[in-house]
Amino acid sequence: YTLKFNSLCIEKKENCSHIGSFFVGPRKKFMDQLRQKTIVSSWNEWDPLKHVIVGKADGACIPAPEPALDAKVPEDSDMRGQFGPRPKEMVDKANELLDQFASQLEGRGIRVDRPTPMEFNQKTSTPDWQAETMFGCMPPRDVLLTVGKEILEATMSYRCRWFEYLCYRPLLQKYYDEDSEMRHEAAPKPRLTDHDYRQDYLSDKIGVQKRLEWTANKFFVTTEEEVLFDAADVLRFGKDLVVQHGFTTNLKGIDWLARHFPGHRVHTVNFPGDPYPIHIDATFTPIKPGLIMNNPQRRLPEEQREMFDKNGWEIIDSAQPAHNSPPPLCYSSVWLSMNVLVLDTKTVCVEKSEVYQAEQLDKLGMEVVEVDLRDAYAFGGGLHCCTADVYREGTCEDYFPIQ
């Protein structure tokens, strides 16, 4: 009723002078939102955050088995052998936490948008494959890569996530309409035939030792058949983009990114020690210019540190996670502890139960904002995963002038 009332008022502002005080609050908020001009721009992971997308848990599914997913779900995971909609009480709890996080950000003056969930419990297909279910839209970071004025939809690398970009289209269309300089781009949709996946990984009896050997040798589940990347494998450092080569991003994907962003330097990294290398943001976390936290079980190899060393960047071990195991039905590891969201170079959001991570960041001089999110982890990750930048202040800077 209020919305309808307000939209009438927008069209006929002069007729609104009679409104009673009851409507002034919501109406003012609505009008303020309308007046806010959308600007898409974000060059790094730490400049002051002003506008962000926070995901939703509605209708999220445990996807059915498919080649890329089988390689990724830990061999001892409680999710193996089951698929379909996640339990309603877990969805409701996750949504409660995501809504609360969104309100916390809004309370700090950050504009928050939300995706439009779809019916994820449906079969999807292309001429090349069929998938029993989709995934969800809790982690926008996986799908959307914001580089300056561009928001790029990643190719994705699981069949169940092929159509996930549709949840973000209403927002992207709106940004495109409101910011005449915004660039809305989509990477080439991959075919995701069986040629994209190494058959060696189609077993739940590989064992962690073998997996560690394989991943250290850069023998990942995805082949070099075609361009593949997830947006959450990319970290933005101004003029430099650092991209993890692993299960969800292949070398062709990284080459495509380098060709697509000719004004940037694109660096390939990998992290031996991770038996399931997907997404860089529970492994390597920039906090501010000159400082990165690295997962101590997945250290950046010596030969890949040169660029950071030469330019005076410090790479420190992150604190240990507070938990010995992830929550039930969760794809991610306990290292979501370091999946923090930096609000500016002095302020960082850390999951409330991750007391060691909070303590480390506090000692590093950061103001730590506690966010209760653990019961939403299973839906696609932590605080960095469940957000995607729309606007951070600042410009494109060169943080690594010595190459």
Binding to ligand GLY by residue 161, rule CB under 6 A? Answer: no
- At closest approach, how far in Å is the CB of 359 from ligand GLY? 21
Q: Identify the helix (H) or strand (E) that includes residue 391.
A: strand 387-392
**Closer residue to ligand GLY in complex, CB, 70/132:** 70
Which residue among 137, 349, 385, 386 is the active-site one? 385
Binding to ligand GLY by residue 285, rule CB under 6 A? Answer: no
**Tokens 């390689």 label which residue?**
71
In the Cβ-directed half-sphere of 40, how many Cα atoms lie within 13 Å?
A: 27
| Distance separating alpha carbons of residues 144 and 185, to the nearest angstrom | 10
32 is catalytic: no
| Distance separating alpha carbons of residues 319 and 354, to the nearest angstrom | 9
Site string for ligand GLY, 233-272 (x = CB under 6 A): ----------------------------------------
Binding to ligand GLY by residue 282, rule CB under 6 A? Answer: yes
- At closest approach, how far in Å is the CB of 323 from ligand GLY? 12
| Distance separating alpha carbons of residues 51 and 38, to the nearest angstrom | 9
Q: Are the C-beta atoms of 369 and 363 separated by less than 8 Å?
A: no
- At closest approach, how far in Å is the CB of 73 from ligand GLY? 11
- Number of residues assigned to the chain: 403
**Closer residue to ligand GLY in complex, CB, 152/278:** 278
Find all residues with CB under 8 Å of 308, minimum gap 6, and list them. 292, 300, 315, 400
Nearest to 86 by CA among 116, 66, 62, 55: 62
Stretch that binds ligand GLY, among 80-88, 99-107, 213-221, 329-337 (CB under 6 A): 329-337
By rule CB under 6 A, what count of residues binds ligand GLY? Answer: 7
Tell me which residue has its CB nearest to ligand GLY: 332
For residue 69, the SS3 value is helix
- Chain Cα centroid distance, residue 396: 21
Q: Are the C-beta atoms of 2 and 27 separated by less than 8 Å?
A: yes
- At closest approach, how far in Å is the CB of 19 from ligand GLY? 50
- At closest approach, how far in Å is the CB of 24 from ligand GLY? 46
Q: Identify the helix (H) or strand (E) that includes residue 22.
A: helix 21-35
Which residue among 51, 245, 279, 384 is the active-site one? 279
- At closest approach, how far in Å is the CB of 8 from ligand GLY? 47
Helix, strand, coil % over all residues of the chain, rounded to 5: 35, 20, 45
230 is catalytic: yes
Find all residues with CB under 8 Å of 138, minimum gap 6, and list them. 55, 56, 57, 60, 94, 98, 376, 379, 380, 381, 385, 386
235: left (phi over 0), alpha (psi -120 to 50) or beta: beta
386 is catalytic: no
| Distance separating alpha carbons of residues 91 and 58, to the nearest angstrom | 6
Binding to ligand GLY by residue 335, rule CB under 6 A? Answer: yes
Stretch that binds ligand GLY, among 122-130, 207-215, 278-286, 304-312 (CB under 6 A): 278-286
- At closest approach, how far in Å is the CB of 267 from ligand GLY? 19
**Closer residue to ligand GLY in complex, CB, 282/349:** 282
Q: Are the C-beta atoms of 120 and 361 separated by less than 8 Å?
A: no
Q: Which of 62, 102, 278, 383 binds ligand GLY (CB under 6 A)?
A: 278
- At closest approach, how far in Å is the CB of 339 from ligand GLY? 8
Binding to ligand GLY by residue 141, rule CB under 6 A? Answer: no
Q: Which of 42, 222, 318, 332 binds ligand GLY (CB under 6 A)?
A: 332
**Closer residue to ligand GLY in complex, CB, 238/277:** 277
Which residue among 230, 233, 281, 389 is the active-site one? 230
Q: Which of 333, 337, 360, 387 binds ligand GLY (CB under 6 A)?
A: 333
Q: Which of 27, 56, 279, 374 binds ligand GLY (CB under 6 A)?
A: 279
Stretch that binds ligand GLY, among 58-66, 93-101, 131-139, 274-282 (CB under 6 A): 274-282
Q: Are the C-beta atoms of 109 and 163 separated by less than 8 Å?
A: no
Which chain residues interact with ligand GLY by CB under 6 A?
Answer: 278-279, 282, 332-333, 335-336
Catalytic site positions: 230, 279, 385
